[in-house]
Amino acid sequence: EDQVTQSPEALRLQEGESSSLNCSYTVSGLRGLFWYRQDPGKGPEFLFTLYSAGEEKEKERLKATLTKKESFLHITAPKPEDSATYLCAGLGVIQGAQKLVFGQGTRLTINP
Amino acid sequence: DTGVSQDPRHKITKRGQNVTFRCDPISEHNRLYWYRQTLGQGPEFLTYFQNEAQLEKSRLLSDRFSAERPKGSFSTLEIQRTEQGDSAMYLCASSLGFYSTSEAFFGQGTRLTVV
């Protein structure tokens, strides 16, 4: 069964303290690995899609990387406004239909 | 077109009542997804449309749930005889393309509370 697991479940950092979030996946016929940011009470906001192992993408203080089994979201010198839940999702193809399989998210808190 | 739009944003209903949610995808996006998210969990896939065709339904989608996408434009998700366990955020997402991958953009969700 397709599965995406994120760790840690929650992470508390001081402002400026860099760290990484992990996403491990087993998704049939993986077509892409997606990262989203979600603020409380809102829908997920698209950040990145990674398509192949070795690929990297950056946006401001965030950098996403992909291997054959996992993806990392690196956060460099975070600010309090980076506090949110970060969701990882694998895009799989089952019987010709594409669907996103999400992890449970990592709740990130950046203290000033 | 500024993004995926969902209506209503919040819905409180009594157990046993029927509710219907609407999703307007980004214009020209041919794929539309419905997800359900409970507190502290990631979104769970419910169903998926390519144009007007409903291609897959999750086991989570009981007989009380039905989704439509007439003419391949907006979509509706109806829940009949609501139960307290249906309380969740219902998210809609849309994307462009057929067999290529592309970004899926989400709406703000409809928060359902069954009392």
Per-residue pLDDT of chain A in tens (112 residues, 90 and over written 9): 788 999 999 999 999 999 999 999 998 778 889 999 999 989 999 898 898 999 999 999 999 999 999 999 999 999 999 999 999 999 887 666 667 889 999 999 999 9
- Rounded distance between C-alpha atoms, residue A36 and residue A25, angstroms: 15
Residue from B90, B106, B108, B113 whose CB has the most chain A CBs within 10 Å, to mutate: B106
Residue B29 has pLDDT above 80, yes or no: yes
Contact of B52 with chain A, judged by CB distance below 8 Å, is answered with no
- Give how far A106 is from chain B: nearest CA, Å: 9
Contacts for B18 with CB less than 8 Å, ≥ 6 apart: B78, B79, B80, B81, B82
For A1-43, give the secondary structure using H, E and C.
CCEEEEECCEEEEECCCCEEEEEEEECCCCCEEEEEEECCCCC
- Rounded distance between C-alpha atoms, residue B101 and residue B81, angstroms: 36
Contacts for B101 with CB less than 8 Å, ≥ 6 apart: A31, A32, A49, A51, A91, A98
- Rounded distance between C-alpha atoms, residue B69 and residue B65, angstroms: 14
Tell me the chain B residues in contact with residue A101 when contact means C-beta distances shorter than 8 Å.
45
pLDDT category of residue B100 using cuts at 50, 70 and 90 = very low
Q: Is B55 helix (H, G, I), strand (E, B) or coil?
A: strand
- Rounded distance between C-alpha atoms, residue B92 and residue B103, angstroms: 13
